[in-house]
Amino acid sequence: MRPGTALTAAIEEIFGPGVIQADGSVNRLALGEVVFDDPVRLRALEGLVHPEVRAWIAARVDTLGSGGEDGVVVVEAIKLLQSPLRDLATEIWVVTCSPEVQRRRLVSDRGYTPEQVEARLRAQPDFAPGTGVRLIQNDGSPAELAGTVEREWNRFLAAET
């Protein structure tokens, strides 16, 4: 959703100039106000964004694999588990926290109102990770999360060798 891209132009065309900032980038907060209480508009946005994201990620994975390189592609995607991208993953990690912590962080870290928080939470898919998913609980501090991720990363590397 960078300035000057076809995706940004399509977002502006469908959702209006009010979701575009002066520098031409998408104002995510304004866009959220337009889509998170309207499932039809949210699906329209997802229909624009998700294919672009999937294509970019698939191309990156192909580049690593076809170049004879060993590499890791980390994808942060809230709907990965409901996406065809799941099939590209050899390892899926899900970082989760309690609903209370999630609400508190959205208010304190992002400045959302309680109403904005609830609209976003309603728009999220139900969480059902399935098998083969490494769950990381994140109710603590950023330092605690970093320590947990580092331990899990080291376990992952040890299992790969």
State the DSSP code for 125. P
pLDDT in tens, 101-140: 999 999 999 999 999 999 888 888 777 766 778 889 999 9
Q: Are residues 65 and 107 in the same domain?
A: no
Domain boundary among 70, 100, 124: 70
The domain in which residue 43 lies consists of 1-70
pTM above 0.75, yes or no: no
Q: Are residues 104 and 143 in the same domain?
A: yes
Tell me how many domains the chain contains: 2
Exposed e or buried b per residue across 102-126, where buried means at least 16 C-beta atoms within 10 angstroms of its C-beta: bbeebeeeeebeeebbebbeebeee
pLDDT confidence of 27, banded at 50, 70, 90? very high
